């Protein structure tokens, strides 16, 4: 038998698994189910680097382990294949995004398959396939045709709402959303409404609705961007300027689910950091909504939300978001130029930048005054970009004595900072938000405590019709439209300017072919280029497409039943698989994908379409594998490069170099000259031994740093099993870890050593049927116990160490026995599946059957020691050690100790008063 050859073994078993559908998961099984899910990738043109598979390897280990434990495991894979990068590439090259996306997916599948992942590829989905996004559109239509009933705390079909309108009009309807946007009408008036009027009355109740919304508009990309796609006022992709612009946008009313999304976090096993991020993003607060009338503007009112209504007497000015709807009306002629200039500057900043910038104080006075509702005192109305139109009411009452940002603003612009509590201190230096003490300068609450003042003020404001107690959330409704081509068409058409949902029977609404993927010359989204794209040949479609997170909000359900043409998932499949038992992915999705997916699931739950309460029961965030960059040092003004050890003798510039031409920090100088044309004549000042030693640094992997390591290269050199083991060996799964290619050779050596337990000196199979001895059984069962514990707590790096220790022990024992090696092969199979399959077959089992083997049973008795070494002390001072049978009783040990010459040697002629035996620990003779 030849030596261990991973390049042959791995291709053989990957082909076998595919041909025999080894990892097919059945939707009907007597076995218990277990659903393992990876966050599916966006298929970029760059393919995978070694950092990408980390979570996939971990989830695959769990998948294979659960199969060995007798579970029917669902472990699918697909592709989040809509998105801006493919569209931008299409704009640059003229190629259809579908073509480049398809090519990229082919590449990804090749790479994923080469790593031996046990995916059920028959369940593969792509969010850009019409057969898939038909159901994304279908869910959108369900949202469009639903409202949220606060009395029942669930979404309900709009037909139930309109039935109530017909019965008693709008009176008594308690719905999620902004009540101020809704009409008031009687049942009689409803009956007289035209179709257009009825739809207009219903629209503000919908869970999917259209509204003028401030968005991040990027003219360079011709689209709206999410906050995550904007950095420092420019697009993250391309670096184009971004401005805030009011545009009609589709929104999803996620705010209706804010409280349920908050409560659900207490029921799931997720990292505390992720749950805390979601809690902060949802941002529940209990306070009051207060109305400030505007002086000399009879019909203008400014509503603010505050969690500290007790401080209202200290509100010495109001601050509006620059986008606030009243700005134009309130700005005086004298302040017009300054206000317009400030608004223009604000448009160039993203919301994220505005929220993050806590050091800059900026603002502009509108010239108008509000009236404090508790004392009718005039307060100046200012604009400041730290107030956002989409948060709360877009206005805040500023209490500079109790809020540091208001304090700095007031100090900067010379506004009053009155004390409002006798417990406030240091107001000449900073704000003091204390709730202690009693109120001063505060009218009707003077002398009261915080607990006494708050309800009194709310009662006063409610009595005057100028405020009310209110629970508020920081969470905002989700903007659901993108002015792009490569996304799901929104299944809406317009008749006489009114939005209608297309009939479900007409789904999918397929992306039309267009000549270019840029916005039209008149500023319409790219879909405006589609010729004769009309619903039923007469009504124009919505030209926006859905955002990237639409398809990923429910994909885990489609995996359960991916080819069903009649339903997004069959009831039987959904009830069998239920919810995801283990979800593996990056922490960067904490407040995006994970929040939206929970929202969609709760909505589907309200409609009776899913059976669980939360979609993902356990979540693990794998850490990032950092790149290990290498540097060469060019002597300034030359094409000469000096080695690390001599660089301080020259003025140099450090340049990144491709890590593939560096080994153990030694640069391949010939390869360097061939790497880039400008280096073909490079000269080198080397170490005294003639080598060029490069510098190194740990940083994020990226093509620009030339530190991306292609897994294909490592698989070709060491094998996929070695790469799988090495990535797990790097450190705890959740932590960031530096990559060092040099270390993988050690794992490769371990696998060869494992092979030689079966094939000593790479000779023929030498496994015997001799019974195992106690030392061999002890080594095996220590491994079984530890590896099972490690997988159960997702501590994969320590398992790899256990395998190495065990193989070393068995090698030292010259062990080649089936009773040891067969269970050890099963134990290793989740980590190194190709090698395990090969050896399993050699042991006489059916080809490809290790996945259906049973996980080895741990037996405690093999770890029980036959003898125990006891320290023997005299008056507490240890003098020597003696061995006794592990089963010996205390009286037997006492008799045996006294029968030795121990007391004669150490007792100084004294007799024993008593002997204290601590079982398994020590013996103390008291003299």
DSSP code of residue 420: -
Which positions ≥6 away from 389 have C-beta within 8 Å? 214, 321, 322, 323, 324
Residue 559: exposure state from Cβ atoms within 10 A (0-12, 13-18, ≥19)? buried
The pair phi, psi for residue 585, each rounded to 5°, is 180, -175
Asked if residues 607 and 146 have their Cβ atoms less than 8 Å apart, the reply is yes
694 DSSP β-pair partners:
none
What pLDDT does residue 524 have? Answer: 85
Dihedral through CA 214, CA 238, CA 542, CA 249, nearest 10?
A: -10
What pLDDT does residue 357 have? Answer: 76
The pair phi, psi for residue 916, each rounded to 5°, is -105, 120
Question: What pTM did the predictor assign?
Answer: 0.85
Asked if residues 370 and 312 have their Cβ atoms less than 8 Å apart, the reply is no
* d(C-alpha 225, C-alpha 891), whole Å: 80
Quickly list DSSP for 184-226: ---HHHHHH--HHHHHHHHGGGBSEEEEEEEEEEETTTTEEE-
The pair phi, psi for residue 539, each rounded to 5°, is -115, 130
Using DSSP's 3-state secondary structure scheme, residue 241 falls into: strand
Plot region of 777 (φ>0 → left; ψ -120 to 50 → alpha; else → beta):
alpha
What pLDDT does residue 355 have? Answer: 76
Asked if residues 643 and 682 have their Cβ atoms less than 8 Å apart, the reply is no
* Percent of the chain residues topping a pLDDT of 70: 100
Quickly list DSSP for 446-492: TT--HHHHHHHHHHHHHHHTSEEEEEEES--PEE--BS-SSSPBP-E
CA-based nearest residue to 640, from 693, 686, 670, 683? 683
Q: Which residues of the chain have pLDDT under 50?
A: 1
């Amino acid at each position: 038998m030849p030596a261990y050859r991973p390049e042959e073994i791995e291709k053989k078993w990957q082909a076998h698994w595919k041909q025999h559908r080894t990892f097919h998961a059945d939707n009907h099984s007597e076995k218990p189910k277990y659903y393992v899910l990876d966050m599916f990738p966006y298929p970029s043109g760059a393919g995978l680097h070694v950092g990408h598979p980390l979570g996939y390897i971990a989830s695959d280990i769990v998948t294979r382990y659960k199969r060995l434990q007798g579970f029917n495991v669902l472990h699918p894979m697909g592709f989040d294949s809509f998105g801006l990068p493919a569209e931008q590439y299409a704009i640059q090259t003229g190629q259809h995004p579908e073509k480049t996306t398809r090519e990229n997916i082919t590449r990804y599948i090749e790479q994923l398959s080469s790593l031996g992942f046990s995916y059920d590829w028959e369940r593969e989905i792509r969010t850009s396939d019409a057969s898939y996004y038909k159901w994304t559109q279908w869910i959108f239509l369900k949202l469009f045709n639903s409202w949220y009933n606060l009395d029942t705390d669930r979404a309900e079909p709009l037909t139930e709402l309109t039935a109530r309108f017909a019965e008693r009009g709008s009176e008594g309807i308690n719905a999620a959303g902004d009540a101020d946007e809704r009409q008031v009408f009687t049942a009689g008036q409803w009956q007289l409404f035209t179709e257009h009027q009825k739809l207009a009355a219903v629209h503000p109740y919908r869970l999917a609705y259209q509204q003028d919304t401030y968005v991040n508009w990027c003219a360079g990309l011709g689209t709206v961007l999410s906050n995550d796609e904007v950095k420092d006022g420019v697009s993250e992709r391309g670096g184009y300027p971004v401005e805030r612009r009011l545009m009609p946008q589709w929104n999803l009313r996620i705010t209706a689910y804010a409280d349920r999304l908050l409560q659900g976090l207490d029921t799931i096993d997720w990292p505390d950091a992720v749950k805390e991020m979601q809690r902060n993003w949802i941002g529940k607060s209990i306070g009051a909504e207060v109305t400030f009338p505007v002086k000399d503007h009879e019909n203008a009112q400014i509503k603010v939300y505050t969690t500290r209504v007790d401080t209202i007497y200290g509100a010495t000015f109001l601050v509006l978001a620059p986008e606030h709807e009243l700005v134009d009306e309130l700005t005086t002629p004298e302040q017009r130029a300054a206000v317009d200039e400030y608004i223009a500057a604000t448009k160039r900043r993203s919301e994220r930048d505005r929220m993050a910038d806590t050091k800059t104080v900026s603002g502009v006075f509108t010239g108008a005054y509000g009236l404090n509702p508790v004392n009718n005192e005039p307060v100046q109305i200012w604009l400041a970009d730290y107030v956002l139109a989409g948060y709360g009411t877009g206005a805040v009452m500023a209490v500079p004595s109790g809020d540091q940002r208001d304090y700095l603003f007031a100090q900067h612009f010379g506004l009053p900072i009155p004390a409002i509590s006798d417990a406030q201190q240091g107001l000449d230096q900073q704000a003091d938000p204390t709730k202690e003490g009693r109120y001063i300068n505060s009218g009707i609450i003077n002398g009261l405590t915080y607990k006494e003042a708050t309800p009194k003020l709310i009662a006063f404001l409610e009595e005057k019709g100028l405020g009310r107690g209110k629970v508020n959330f920081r969470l905002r409704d989700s903007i659901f439209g993108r002015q792009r081509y490569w996304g799901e068409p929104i299944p809406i058409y317009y008749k006489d300017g009114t939005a209608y949902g297309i009939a479900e029977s007409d789904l999918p609404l397929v992306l039309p072919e267009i000549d270019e993927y840029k916005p039209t010359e008149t500023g319409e989204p790219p879909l405006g280029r589609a010729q004769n794209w009309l619903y039923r040949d007469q009504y124009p479609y919505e030209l926006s497409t859905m955002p990237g997170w639409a398809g990923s909000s429910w994909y885990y359900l489609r995996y359960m039943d991916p080819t069903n043409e009649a339903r997004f998932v069959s009831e039987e499949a959904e009830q069998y698989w239920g919810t995801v038992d283990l979800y593996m992915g990056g922490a960067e999705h904490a407040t995006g994908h994970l929040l939206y997916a929970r929202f969609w699931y709760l909505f589907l739950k309200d409609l009776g379409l899913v059976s669980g309460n939360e979609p993902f029961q356990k979540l693990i965030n794998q850490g990032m594998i950092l790149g290990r960059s290498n540097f060469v040092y060019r002597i300034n003004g030359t094409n000469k490069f000096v080695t690390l050890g001599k660089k301080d003798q020259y003025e140099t510039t450090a340049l990144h170099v491709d890590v593939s031409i560096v080994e153990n920090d030694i640069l391949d100088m010939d390869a360097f000259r061939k790497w880039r044309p400008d280096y073909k004549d490079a000269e080198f000042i080397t170490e005294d031994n003639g080598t060029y030693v490069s510098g190194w640094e740990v940083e994020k992997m990226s093509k620009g740093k030339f530190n991306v390591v292609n897994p294909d290269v490592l698989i070709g050199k060491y094998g996929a099993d070695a790469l799988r083991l090495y990535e797990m060996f790097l450190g705890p799964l959740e932590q960031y870890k530096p990559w060092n290619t040099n270390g993988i050779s050690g794992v490769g050596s371990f696998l060869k050593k494992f092979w030689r337990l079966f094939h000593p000196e790479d000779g023929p199979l030498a496994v015997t049927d001799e019974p195992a001895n106690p030392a061999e059984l002890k080594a095996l069962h220590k491994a079984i116990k530890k590896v099972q514990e490690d997988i159960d707590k997702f501590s994969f790096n320590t398992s790899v160490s256990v395998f190495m220790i065990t193989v070393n022990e068995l090698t030292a024992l010259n062990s080649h026995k089936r009773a040891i090696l067969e269970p050890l092969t099963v134990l290793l199979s989740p980590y190194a599946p190709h090698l395990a399959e090969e050896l399993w077959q050699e042991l006489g089992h059916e080809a490809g059957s290790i996945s259906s083997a049973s996980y080895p049973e741990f037996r405690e008795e093999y770890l029980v020691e036959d003898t125990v070494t006891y320290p023997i002390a005299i008056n507490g001072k240890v003098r020597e050690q003696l061995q006794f049978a592990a089963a010996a009783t205390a009286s037997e040990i006492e008799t045996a100790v006294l029968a030795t010459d121990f007391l004669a040697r150490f007792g100084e002629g004294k007799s024993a008063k008593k002997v204290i035996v601590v079982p398994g620990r020590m013996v103390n003779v008291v003299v």
